[in-house]
Amino acid sequence: MRKNKYCVELDVVDGSFPDRYMGCGYGREYTIPEMFERIASIDKITGVELVSNWQVTPENAPEIKKLCDDHNLEVVSILPDHFSQKKWGKGAFTSTDKNIRADAVQVTKTLMDLAAEMDCKKLTIWNGQDGYDYPFTANYMKELEWLQEGIRECAEYRKDIQLAIEYKVREPRLHCYLSNVYSTLMFLKEVNCDNVGITVDFGHCIIAHENPAEAIAACKLYGDKLFHVHVNDNFGVWDDDCITSTEHVIETMEFMYWLKKTNYDGWFSFDHYTPRLDGRDALIEGVNWMEDITALVDKIDDAKMEEMFKNVNAVEMSKMVRELLFH
Amino acid sequence: MRKNKYCVELDVVDGSFPDRYMGCGYGREYTIPEMFERIASIDKITGVELVSNWQVTPENAPEIKKLCDDHNLEVVSILPDHFSQKKWGKGAFTSTDKNIRADAVQVTKTLMDLAAEMDCKKLTIWNGQDGYDYPFTANYMKELEWLQEGIRECAEYRKDIQLAIEYKVREPRLHCYLSNVYSTLMFLKEVNCDNVGITVDFGHCIIAHENPAEAIAACKLYGDKLFHVHVNDNFGVWDDDCITSTEHVIETMEFMYWLKKTNYDGWFSFDHYTPRLDGRDALIEGVNWMEDITALVDKIDDAKMEEMFKNVNAVEMSKMVRELLFH
Amino acid sequence: MRKNKYCVELDVVDGSFPDRYMGCGYGREYTIPEMFERIASIDKITGVELVSNWQVTPENAPEIKKLCDDHNLEVVSILPDHFSQKKWGKGAFTSTDKNIRADAVQVTKTLMDLAAEMDCKKLTIWNGQDGYDYPFTANYMKELEWLQEGIRECAEYRKDIQLAIEYKVREPRLHCYLSNVYSTLMFLKEVNCDNVGITVDFGHCIIAHENPAEAIAACKLYGDKLFHVHVNDNFGVWDDDCITSTEHVIETMEFMYWLKKTNYDGWFSFDHYTPRLDGRDALIEGVNWMEDITALVDKIDDAKMEEMFKNVNAVEMSKMVRELLFH
Amino acid sequence: MRKNKYCVELDVVDGSFPDRYMGCGYGREYTIPEMFERIASIDKITGVELVSNWQVTPENAPEIKKLCDDHNLEVVSILPDHFSQKKWGKGAFTSTDKNIRADAVQVTKTLMDLAAEMDCKKLTIWNGQDGYDYPFTANYMKELEWLQEGIRECAEYRKDIQLAIEYKVREPRLHCYLSNVYSTLMFLKEVNCDNVGITVDFGHCIIAHENPAEAIAACKLYGDKLFHVHVNDNFGVWDDDCITSTEHVIETMEFMYWLKKTNYDGWFSFDHYTPRLDGRDALIEGVNWMEDITALVDKIDDAKMEEMFKNVNAVEMSKMVRELLFH
């Protein structure tokens, strides 16, 4: 069986995330050292993804790195905060204020340096505030160009750090620019830097009405651009970030199959949001779902699958999946 | 293990259904006797659901009944055609033309008599044309009252035949009146006839953004109104009528659990639409999915489930489902 | 022209609401007296809707009442907080913990008394935490019964205060029990208390895939149950709470037409969430949209409309709407 | 005021389209000469879009061309039939059968020649059957490559004819490859032929959860690829092809604004599907909506709009739109 590499964002095991109605968070708050302990207690998790400001800053980086080392956790990726401070509210790389745009670039460069210091090879770039809300409010062409320029400037700053762009169709903006796998691939073609690629988040595919396995295939076909993977699940409408695979069992199977078929050897990062659950317990479940599904998918005979692709008979596929699941 | 009773609409094994683009249908056409043979060749299917005009009319009823008898197939339900003739295009029970409304009632009564003659206890009533398309075009209150009156008149005509209303949120109208389980339950409260109840179609729940298991519970709670069940699946947006359970595995498990918990002892009717597949092969797959899921659900310990309901811990539920599926 | 009565939730003019990513809120925080001043500066707004805990408590009630009086603002409704404290995280009226259920009832009764003291005739009841997230985690029948019992107990406590239930299909729970107009009407039939009715929130209709005008008609038809109206708009997926009518112009027109046709004489409460805008400016726009649309709708000739309902010709309706808008 | 050029598919004024339930069509059938007469009776319509097989074949082309000439209607575009014959049921350019793929190419070339003969400069290519239904049934990479190769071969066959690809997220396949503006732009980048571009269909944007104005901007930004425009509207879920602008008034305004801003000087083709209406009456309404909206949009002061883009204040935008509509 394949051995997947699993990591997680620290706050996935915290309990104090706010939403619009529960400003105080649903559960209890954990300190950063506690979060590390909680994560490290799960054998199969061997890395962390860190959010800047929330968890890591230039100031506390040595301390955080030590916590990683003490717990044998690799720093897989750092996510620059382009979304949680008031200044980013109307856009970071696409702000109409050129100082804010410059700031978005500067923050990213600083974190690229910080990543290098922490033996981390990758930033996850999530442009959650780079979009628009109402019709007639955005100059799409201009703002998309600013986004290209900003990302390109960061990418060229140092080529030893990868920038893995995580697309999402909406939230917190009502419409985000990098909304699905194809808008992001097209964007990357224009940016044209080897060290810029994609983070595919399973749930973001679903809410973009995009089949996750097709997204993986598209990343391969259009430039081999898959740099990172987030896993979770939802009910098809909103980025619920449920426990991985608890909704889309068969799509997750196909997703894992295509990751194997396209030789993905990167990390699986759990991007859960489980405010009413113990985040650590939910995370263990996520790992178990991933392990169980991987074991199943590894049973698929590749030669037989290639034959099935030639026949395109959904009855055969149904039978294969059903027998894998139940027999 | 529970023994489910399965039936199917005849045309599910035909291949000649049109859509908007493929007027000729994707596959080959079968004669009615061929369709009976195809269905009868599947052991576990022991009943049929017949659509009037398409498959049964007062004229050919004896012949159809003989085909049923010859193949040991029970006539489980008849579906009056209130949707496939030009006169129904702008509504049947809710047409603004009182003659058409009267006709909708008369057609139903005739089929109730026909059902009785065929040893069938139930009509499935699907009000697909009873709705509206654009804003400002419908007098909702008036039309809902007409629908109540029409259904009530049919129900009172003979109480030995059940009318099982199949709700659906849209298609062919852009908005249908009986759109979800609750609009239908509310409607039934007003109609107030013991022999009028509900057909829950699994896929119609999904496209109404309604959890199918909750729909079953609601039918029980609000008058014990579940008369019939249709099974199939879809991708959350449209009534794709895919092979049962090929999308919503866990929701189907929960659906079957609640049907058991609420003591449903009626039929499961496959309402597939598989134009690019051999309908009979797809139907066999549907039966197999249902059997496999039923076997799994029967392993759930009811006492343990009741405990889980008290704790409301989604991690436990995830574990239970995952272990049922993979271990 | 009709004279609409407008009110607003205090926090609509605040700027400090958190979301999942911007914990600090997008704009500046206003004090409660500032919010009153901001609202009172808008002539057409003559009432407020207060959220308990956030804005009003038994302790500060006299002070809040004085602020209302000083600014000539009627207390139109109070919304009990059943959602923003950790104890409500897994349900208020439907919590599996009977003490929490009792607490939900007690909080409501206390606020009914408080309302009476503030010359307010109505509570808006929003059961945002009364629902479930994952399949298999909820005993739907039991929990719906608890919800009935709890609401009934409150309703019987004092009949001079109306309880206006605000339904919503999701958020913060992934599935809420009182999800659409029909589930709420059915629920009210069981609760069977004259002083319990419905708050229709325009945007909640849209995300439930429910035509707002039909919702108004249904409230009239099934017991004359419309007690209160919230206005706002969204993009069809999530409760964006955009400025009223900025998305669904024609549906808002039809909504206002049916409110007039069914003789609604209650309030219109702006339930905006405009984190990146000045809330007061956005509110003024909302009032202006409502006034402009009301003026348009008042031009519709009722007799002609009744004729159109008889003909059901969407071309005529399109022409009527288009000429109202453009000519 | 701008003078828009309007054309229409012939069948938009026919009445006999089937759907899954009404195989016979809702209205009456018109002959091709009748359809031409019906269209020609509308002054502002000066072109037609023809579907091969349904309306034009190599055999009847001279006769059809004569009908066009007699009625002063330009042949704006021809749409090759890659979707209505059984052979295309599982794909045309992406069929796993290489003979069918070759056939799809050949049909297209033949129609390019035919177009040239009819003084038509453009084919609309709609790959409705090029997609997949169930998970695990498609080799996405291989099939997308076949689609590229096929379209490229057609494009190179003769460069004087444009191929305007009309994307659509679903229907008749449950998932289509060219699903949104970005997947199509990315695809075009790989195809890399000057005479291949895009048909943006307003309604297809909406069901892809894509803001139509952003789609227009993206076509401009990523290669100036907008070749053709289809107009209609829907309720956000399915390709209802309602009368233009009867749902998304403000989005249509913004769409028209961006078409002007990006100097679109092509045709507007009405792609209505109005089975319960008189298609010609509905078409007249569509023209009137377009004219009224264009007149409104032409009132927008470009300099002021550019200022608004700098400020990004949705309140200003709301005010501008509202005053345009109501004052």
Chain D residues 237-256 within an 8 A CB cutoff of chain A: 250-251, 253-254
Is B250 in Cβ contact with A246 (below 8 Å)? yes
Are A230 and A125 contacting, i.e. CB atoms less than 8 angstroms apart?
no
Which of B1, B2, B8 shows the shortest CA–CA distance to B232?
Answer: B8
pLDDT higher than threshold 80 for residue A40: yes
pLDDT higher than threshold 90 for residue A207: yes
Question: Which of D236, D249, D327 lies closest to C250 in CB terms?
Answer: D249
Q: Kindly tell me the burial class for residue A16, based on how many C-beta atoms sit within 10 Å of its own C-beta (0-12, 13-18, 19 or more).
A: middle
Chain D residues 298-317 within an 8 A CB cutoff of chain A: 305-306, 308-314, 317
Chain A residues 122-141 within an 8 A CB cutoff of chain D: 132-141
pLDDT higher than threshold 90 for residue A56: yes
The correct answer on CATH 3.20.20.150 for the domain covering A5-300 is: yes
pLDDT higher than threshold 80 for residue A319: yes
* Tens-digit pLDDT profile for residues B198-257: 999 999 999 999 999 999 999 999 999 999 999 999 999 999 999 999 999 999 999 999
Buried b (16+ CB within 10 A) or exposed e, B231-260: bbbbbbbbbbbbbbbbbbbbbbbbbbbbbb
- Is residue C109 less than 8 Å (CB to CB) from chain B? no
- Is residue A113 less than 8 Å (CB to CB) from chain B? no
- From residue B327, give the alpha-carbon distance in Å to each of A244, A287, A301, A322: 18, 15, 21, 14
- Is residue A23 less than 8 Å (CB to CB) from chain C? yes
What is the per-residue pLDDT for A153?
A: 98
* Chains with ≥3 CB–CB distances under 8 Å to A: B, C, D
Which residues of chain C lie closer than 8 angstroms to A85, CB-CB? 22, 24
Tell me what ipTM this predicted complex has. Answer: 0.97
> Is the dihedral angle over the CA atoms C105, C111, C115, C116 positive or is it negative?
positive
Is D22 in Cβ contact with B86 (below 8 Å)? yes
For chain A, give the mean pLDDT. Answer: 97
pLDDT higher than threshold 80 for residue D258: yes
Q: How far is A12 from chain D (nearest CA, A)?
A: 29
Question: Which of C134, C137, C254 lies closest to B136 in CB terms?
Answer: C254
* Tens-digit pLDDT profile for residues D172-197: 999 999 999 999 999 999 999 999 99
For B10, list phi and psi in degrees, rounded to 5: -55, -45
Which of C209, C266, C216, C255 shows the shortest CA–CA distance to C232?
Answer: C255
Q: Kindly tell me the burial class for residue B71, based on how many C-beta atoms sit within 10 Å of its own C-beta (0-12, 13-18, 19 or more).
A: middle
Furthest C-alpha separation in chain D: 60
pLDDT higher than threshold 80 for residue C48: yes
- Distance in angstroms (rounded) separating the CA atoms of residues B134 and D249: 14
Give the other-Cβ count within 10 Å of A119's Cβ. 11
What is the per-residue pLDDT for D312?
A: 85
pLDDT higher than threshold 80 for residue C1: no
* Contacts of range B104-111, beta carbons closer than 8 Å, 24 or more positions apart: B104/B150, B105/B150, B105/B153, B105/B154, B107/B52, B107/B80, B107/B81, B107/B82, B108/B80, B108/B82, B108/B150, B108/B154, B108/B163, B109/B154, B109/B157, B109/B158, B110/B58, B111/B52, B111/B78, B111/B80
Q: How far is A172 from chain C (nearest CA, A)?
A: 7
Question: Which of B246, B315, B322 lies closest to A277 in CB terms?
Answer: B315
* Tens-digit pLDDT profile for residues A122-160: 999 999 999 999 999 999 999 999 999 999 999 999 999
* Tens-digit pLDDT profile for residues B105-131: 999 999 999 999 999 999 999 999 999
- Distance in angstroms (rounded) separating the CA atoms of residues A234 and A243: 8
* Tens-digit pLDDT profile for residues D44-85: 999 999 999 999 999 999 999 999 999 999 999 999 999 999
B233: its two tokens: 């699946």
Which residue in C has a C-alpha nearest to residue A241's C-alpha? C174
Task: Report the SS3 class of residue D5.
Answer: strand
pLDDT higher than threshold 90 for residue D288: yes
- Distance in angstroms (rounded) separating the CA atoms of residues B177 and B127: 8
pLDDT higher than threshold 90 for residue B312: no
Is B315 in Cβ contact with A289 (below 8 Å)? no
Average pLDDT on D206-210 reads: 98
Q: How far is A136 from chain B (nearest CA, A)?
A: 25
* Chains with ≥3 CB–CB distances under 8 Å to C: A, B, D
Question: Which of D22, D90, D128 lies closest to B83 in CB terms?
Answer: D22
pLDDT higher than threshold 90 for residue A76: yes
Buried b (16+ CB within 10 A) or exposed e, B4-32: bbbbbbbbbbbbebbbbbbeebbbeebeb
Chain C residues 32-61 within an 8 A CB cutoff of chain B: none
Which runs of consecutive H residues, i.e. helices, occur in A162-278? 181-191, 202-207, 212-221, 249-261
What is the per-residue pLDDT for C248?
A: 98
pLDDT higher than threshold 80 for residue C217: yes
Are D218 and D277 contacting, i.e. CB atoms less than 8 angstroms apart?
no
Is B170 in Cβ contact with D84 (below 8 Å)? no
pLDDT higher than threshold 90 for residue C311: no
Is D128 in Cβ contact with B174 (below 8 Å)? no
Is C90 in Cβ contact with B141 (below 8 Å)? no
What is the per-residue pLDDT for C105?
A: 98
- Is residue C277 less than 8 Å (CB to CB) from chain D? yes
What pairs with residue B196 in β-bridges?
B163
pLDDT higher than threshold 90 for residue B98: yes
Which residues of chain A lie closer than 8 angstroms to D318, CB-CB? 134
Q: How far is C264 from chain D (nearest CA, A)?
A: 24
Residues 6+ apart with CB under 8 A from B58: B110, B114
* Tens-digit pLDDT profile for residues B52-91: 999 999 999 999 999 999 999 999 999 999 999 999 999 9
pLDDT band at D24 (very low <50, low <70, confident <90, very high): confident
* Chains with ≥3 CB–CB distances under 8 Å to B: A, C, D
Helix H or strand E encompassing D75: strand D74-79
Which residues of chain C lie closer than 8 angstroms to B305, CB-CB? 136
Helix H or strand E encompassing C269: strand C267-270
What is the per-residue pLDDT for A311?
A: 84
Residues 6+ apart with CB under 8 A from D69: none
pLDDT band at A2 (very low <50, low <70, confident <90, very high): confident
A314: its two tokens: 């959904």
Furthest C-alpha separation in chain A: 60
Question: Which of B292, B313, B326 lies closest to A322 in CB terms?
Answer: B292
Spans of all domains in chain B: 5-300
- From residue D265, give the alpha-carbon distance in Å to each of D16, D166, D259: 33, 18, 8
- Distance in angstroms (rounded) separating the CA atoms of residues A81 and A99: 16
Residue A198: left if φ>0, alpha if ψ -120 to 50, beta else—which one?
A: beta
- Is residue A288 less than 8 Å (CB to CB) from chain B? yes
Q: Measured in whole angstroms, how far is the alpha carbon of residue C104 from the centre of its chain?
A: 19
